[in-house]
């Protein structure tokens, strides 16, 4: 969620309509206003196209480094660790799916990839999970309970790691603290996931969404699971005294580095506690120490798992170049349309109309385009966020809230389209409403978190 995952989703017919409305409305409003407005719209077309490309260029460096960092975690097997943590939860959520069925394994890997913020890696597992769930579904064309719940979780997945794509855009926009949105985004995604799951259970009780009685599916036996298949060989290697000494030496260095870091954090926390109180100390610890903690944790974990960290960083950085080239057309096209809409005066008029209502709940009307487009297209929302950061500044409250919204929800319609299509399902039952409930919860969670952290 929230980074550069799934930026290739075009958003479908709805986003096409939105883009067309933005462009045509801008031209018509400018024509009705006069020559100056028409000239402003023309200038906005060229200036926004240039700024979009410049933004991508500035984004590449940040993406290379942090996608490389994520590759270290991937190569060290951290995703499999998360998968093992999730197994007890998934067995409770999906009791009708056999524990050794390929669908369960694919769902666990999909969720663990989303938790780590690796949305592109999560998509193949999600498609595999839906196709396997379809084999257990005896009501062709109608989503099973497991499918609906999986979609609700997938489209609102809580993300523990920072939204690196959004942070990269903020850094490219010269933010003084690009990482400030991490904790608000984590809170917003937690709200989104909890509400989406609750909405699944609540809406499932309504007769309109009731699923027809399921026949018992025939689960194919499979031993596929995210367990470590090399545990036996690891045990043999552990008996080697030299290998054991090296392993203990690595563990000692990891523990030493962790102890030094925790001692530093404790010292900073006590200093802030003595001067500014508990709330300020807690906020400072979250804002200033989470990034160093992430970097140190990934590097030490990779070191402990004998990962060639430099090679992994390079391999992950190569992926960033492909992602950057992929988002250019989407970013330019949506950024041009929004800039035209703003330059014509149409956006200002719309904001004046809704601002008295949104201000009552602490939401600047300028962020509403972001909230509307985010469920439709990740690339479109990225363009809208970039335009907002350029206009209002990345460290303004509007810029911070827009950045948090980018990571608080998912491209719901895109996810539903490709996942239901993979399962051959035309009736998603309450999936859409559960996912949208998660989107709304993520929106209000982002608003509440931004007011807490940024005032």
Q: What is the dihedral of CA 382, 149, 185, 56, to 10 degrees?
A: -20
Going by pLDDT thresholds of 50, 70 and 90, the confidence category of residue 235 is very low
Greatest CA span in the chain, whole angstroms?
Answer: 83
Predicted confidence (pLDDT) at residue 399 exceeds the cutoff of 90: yes
Question: Cβ distance 372 to 7 under 8 Å?
Answer: no
Predicted confidence (pLDDT) at residue 6 exceeds the cutoff of 50: no
Residue 34 backbone dihedrals phi, psi, to 5 degrees: 140, 180
> In the structure encoding, which two tokens stand for residue 1, read together?
């969620």
pLDDT of residue 218: 39
Going by pLDDT thresholds of 50, 70 and 90, the confidence category of residue 211 is low
pLDDT of residue 222: 37
How many other C-beta atoms can be found within 10 angstroms of the C-beta atom of residue 228? 13
How far, in Å, are 82, 176, 210 from residue 183 at the CA level?
A: 20, 16, 37
Predicted confidence (pLDDT) at residue 358 exceeds the cutoff of 60: yes
**CB neighbour class for 54 (10 Å; exposed up to 12, middle 13-18, buried from 19):** exposed
Point out which residues pair with 32 in neighbouring strands: none
Round to whole Å and give the CA distance between 172 and 181: 15
Predicted confidence (pLDDT) at residue 4 exceeds the cutoff of 50: no
For the chain, the residue count is 455
Predicted confidence (pLDDT) at residue 194 exceeds the cutoff of 80: yes
pLDDT of residue 244: 54
> In the structure encoding, which two tokens stand for residue 124, read together?
């193949």
pLDDT of residue 360: 81
Residue 407 backbone dihedrals phi, psi, to 5 degrees: -100, 0
Mean pLDDT of the chain: 77
Q: In the chain, pLDDT over 70 holds for what percent of residues?
A: 78
What pTM, to 2 d.p., does this model score? 0.64
Residue 142 backbone dihedrals phi, psi, to 5 degrees: -115, 130
pLDDT tens digits for range 239-283:
455 555 456 666 777 787 778 877 877 777 777 777 777 766 766
pLDDT of residue 396: 93
Question: Cβ distance 77 to 312 under 8 Å?
Answer: no
Helix (H, G, I), strand (E, B) or coil at 358: helix
In this prediction, residues 215-243 reach a mean pLDDT of 42
How far, in Å, are 73, 81, 238, 239 from residue 247 at the CA level?
A: 19, 19, 8, 11
> Which range among 15-29, 204-218, 255-269, 438-452 shows the weakest confidence by mean pLDDT?
204-218
Q: Which residue has the higher pLDDT, 10 or 453?
A: 453
Predicted confidence (pLDDT) at residue 401 exceeds the cutoff of 90: yes
Round to whole Å and give the CA distance between 371 and 62: 25
Going by pLDDT thresholds of 50, 70 and 90, the confidence category of residue 137 is confident
Residue 306 backbone dihedrals phi, psi, to 5 degrees: 60, 35
In this prediction, residues 221-242 reach a mean pLDDT of 43
Round to whole Å and give the CA distance between 123 and 110: 7
pLDDT tens digits for range 164-173:
678 878 888 8
Q: Running DSSP on this structure, what letter comes out for residue 427?
A: B
Predicted confidence (pLDDT) at residue 238 exceeds the cutoff of 50: no
How many other C-beta atoms can be found within 10 angstroms of the C-beta atom of residue 397? 17
How many other C-beta atoms can be found within 10 angstroms of the C-beta atom of residue 86? 19
Q: Which residue has the higher pLDDT, 188 or 298?
A: 188
Q: In the chain, pLDDT over 90 holds for what percent of residues?
A: 14
Helix (H, G, I), strand (E, B) or coil at 142: strand
Domain boundaries, the chain: 12-209+304-454
pLDDT of residue 339: 82
How far, in Å, are 76, 108, 237, 242, 305 from residue 230 at the CA level?
A: 14, 20, 11, 19, 13
pLDDT of residue 223: 37
The secondary structure of the chain in percent helix, strand, coil, rounded to multiples of 5, reads 80, 0, 20
Residue 427 backbone dihedrals phi, psi, to 5 degrees: -110, 105
pLDDT tens digits for range 75-126:
888 767 767 777 788 888 888 888 778 788 778 877 877 776 665 567 767 8
Q: Which residue has the higher pLDDT, 46 or 13?
A: 46
Round to whole Å and give the CA distance between 275 and 289: 18
Residue position matching structure tokens 């006069």: 34
In this prediction, residues 24-46 reach a mean pLDDT of 90
pLDDT tens digits for range 292-324:
877 788 888 888 888 888 888 888 778 777 766
pLDDT of residue 11: 47
Residue position matching structure tokens 């099973």: 144
């Amino acid at each position: 969620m929230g980074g550069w995952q799934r930026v290739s989703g075009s958003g479908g017919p709805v986003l096409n309509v939105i883009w067309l409305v933005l462009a045509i409305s801008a031209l018509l409003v400018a024509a009705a206003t006069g020559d100056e407005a028409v000239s402003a719209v023309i200038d906005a077309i060229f200036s926004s196209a240039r700024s979009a490309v410049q933004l991508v260029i500035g984004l590449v460096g940040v993406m290379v480094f942090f996608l490389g960092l994520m590759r270290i975690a991937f190569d060290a097997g951290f995703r499999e660790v998360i998968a093992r943590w999730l197994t007890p939860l998934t067995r409770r959520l999906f009791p009708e799916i056999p524990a050794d069925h390929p669908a369960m394994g694919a769902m666990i890997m999909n969720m663990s990839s989303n938790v780590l913020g690796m949305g592109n890696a999560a998509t193949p597992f999600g498609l595999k999970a839906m196709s396997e769930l379809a084999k257990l579904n005896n009501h062709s064309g109608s989503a099973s309970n497991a499918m609906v719940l999986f979609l609700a979780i997938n489209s609102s997945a809580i993300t523990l790691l920072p939204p690196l794509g959004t942070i990269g855009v903020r850094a490219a926009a010269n933010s003084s603290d690009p990482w400030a949105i991490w904790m608000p985004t984590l809170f917003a995604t937690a709200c989104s996931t909890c509400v989406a799951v609750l909405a699944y259970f609540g809406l499932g009780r309504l007769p309109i969404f009731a699923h027809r009685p399921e026949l018992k599916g025939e689960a194919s036996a499979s031993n596929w699971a995210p367990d470590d298949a090399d545990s036996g060989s690891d045990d043999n290697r552990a008996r080697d005294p030299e290998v054991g000494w090296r392993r203990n030496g690595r563990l000692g260095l990891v523990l030493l580095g962790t102890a030094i870091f925790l001692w530093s954090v404790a010292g900073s926390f006590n200093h802030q506690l003595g001067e500014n109180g508990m709330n300020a100390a807690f906020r400072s610890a979250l804002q200033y120490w989470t990034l160093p903690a992430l970097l140190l944790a990934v590097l030490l974990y990779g070191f402990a798992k004998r990962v060639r960290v430099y090679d992994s960083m390079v391999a992950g950085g190569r992926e960033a170049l492909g992602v950057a080239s992929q988002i250019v057309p989407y970013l330019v096209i949506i950024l041009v349309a929004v800039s035209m809409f703003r330059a014509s005066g149409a956006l200002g008029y719309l904001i004046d109309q809704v601002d008295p209502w949104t201000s009552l709940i602490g939401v600047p009307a300028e962020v509403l385009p972001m909230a509307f487009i985010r469920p439709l297209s990740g690339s479109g929302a990225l363009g809208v966020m970039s335009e907002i950061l350029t206009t209002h500044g990345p460290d303004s409250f509007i810029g911070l809230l827009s950045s948090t919204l980018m990571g608080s929800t998912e491209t719901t319609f895109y996810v539903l389209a490709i996942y239901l299509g993979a399962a051959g399902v035309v009736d998603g039952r309450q999936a859409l409403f559960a996912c949208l409930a998660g989107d709304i919860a993520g929106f209000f969670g982002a608003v509440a978190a931004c007011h807490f952290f940024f005032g």
